[in-house]
Amino acid sequence: MTEKQLNVDQSEIDKFSEIAAHWWDPEGQFKPLHAINPLRLSYIETQAEGVFGKRILDVGCGGGILAESLAVRGAEVTGIDMASASLEIAQLHSLETGVKVDYQCISVESLADEQPGSFDIVTCMEMLEHVPDPESVIHACARLVKPGGKVFFSTLNRNLKSYLMGIVAAEYMLQWVPKGTHQYQRFIKPSELIRMADQAGLFTRSATGLHFDPFNQAFVLSDRNVDVNYILQCEKS
């Protein structure tokens, strides 16, 4: 195994493997991902000026929630993840729905060695905070996208508000996600993510925050702040 392939936290793989069977239960342990998926999909489509006919890579695809949605919109989608249990669920769901997605158990760094400059769009959503070296992932995403292509990252900001909302509230009070899903020290400030993207040759075009509206009991996208969850849209020069 090469050094690049070691950018994996086995405890994180085990954590998601244990609950892999729940990926496609909209009321289960991945309920928040189902709730925010239409927002993520809409944001990607808008910022990328559509996805139909484009080749898209979804890094850290898990059970395929976003990957399938992109494929339904007419994109040619490849989904990669290092948790084989999650990929098995993704592949099974793809067979059930008839939505074609190419799922592969491979690290993003290894795929970048094999297929540099192959994708029009690369998405890496809610994944950077689960790996030991997020900068390595960002550089690999930059290598995989074509010049002028789009790269989308989403993660959690690192501050007191994000700790209270992303861990205390989401994991313990509201129980939106299983306890221990997140580690605060792995949260990434937008300034840090923008710097890493810039060093990888990616220019940040826009950023938006993902917020929970308690009055409507729904998630919304708004650029009024990026205090907790946020999405960064970059372009390869």
Q: Write out the E strands in 14-118.
A: 55-59, 76-80, 102-104
Q: Which of 208, 192, 199 is nearest to 236 (CA)?
A: 199
Element (H, E) at 235: strand 229-236
Cα–Cα distance between 128 and 60 in angstroms, integer? 9
With beta carbons less than 8 A apart as the criterion, state whether 151 and 137 touch.
no
Instruction: Determine whether the annotation assigns residue 40 to a binding site.
Output: yes
> Minimal CA–CA distance to 52: which of 75, 69, 77, 76?
75
60 marked as binding residue: yes
What residues form the annotated binding site for S-adenosyl-L-methionine?
Answer: 40, 60, 81, 125
What residues form the annotated binding site?
Answer: 40, 60, 81, 125
